[in-house]
């Protein structure tokens, strides 16, 4: 959390328990870990959460627009879901 995402290394990663306590790593976990754990509960077959703030995806999300297919690779994202804006780290998110 609060790290420049473009410069992350494996040593920057943090492994946590469902209560947010750190198992491995020295950095602070994201305040949004509860959202990640809720994703695991909803999809037990999941093994990882990748959390990004891609500028274009964020722009579409905050304007409640879907992702238009702009190239052939976009067909894999055609059913991408978005949620309304909520306070980061909130239980609503």
Per DSSP, the three-state class of 36 is: helix
Residue 24 has pLDDT above 90, yes or no: yes
| Res. 87 pLDDT band, cuts 50 70 90 | confident
Residue 81 has pLDDT above 70, yes or no: no
End-to-end CA, the chain: 17
Task: Please report, for the chain, the start and end positions of each structural domain, with discontinuous segments joined by +.
Answer: 1-51, 54-85
pLDDT tens-digit map of 25-74: 999 888 888 888 888 899 889 887 766 777 877 787 778 777 676 777 76
Sort 40 into a burial class: Cβ within 10 Å, 0-12 / 13-18 / 19+.
middle
| Res. 11 pLDDT band, cuts 50 70 90 | very high
Instruction: Give Cα 65 to chain centroid, integer Å.
Output: 18
Cα separation of 53 and 90, whole Å?
17
Residue 23 has pLDDT above 90, yes or no: yes
Average pLDDT on 12-17 reads: 90
Distances (CA, A) of 46 to 41, 56, 57, 64: 9, 25, 22, 26
């Amino acid at each position: 959390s609060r790290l420049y995402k473009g410069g992350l290394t494996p040593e920057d990663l943090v492994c946590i328990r469902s209560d947010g306590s750190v198992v491995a790593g020295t950095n602070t976990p994201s305040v949004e870990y509860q959202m990640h754990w809720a994703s695991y509960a909803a999809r037990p077959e999941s093994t990882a959460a990748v959390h990004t703030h891609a500028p274009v995806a964020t722009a579409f999300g905050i304007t409640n627009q879907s992702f238009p297919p702009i190239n052939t690779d976009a067909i894999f994202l055609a059913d991408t879901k978005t949620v309304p804006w909520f306070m980061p780290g909130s239980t609503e998110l």
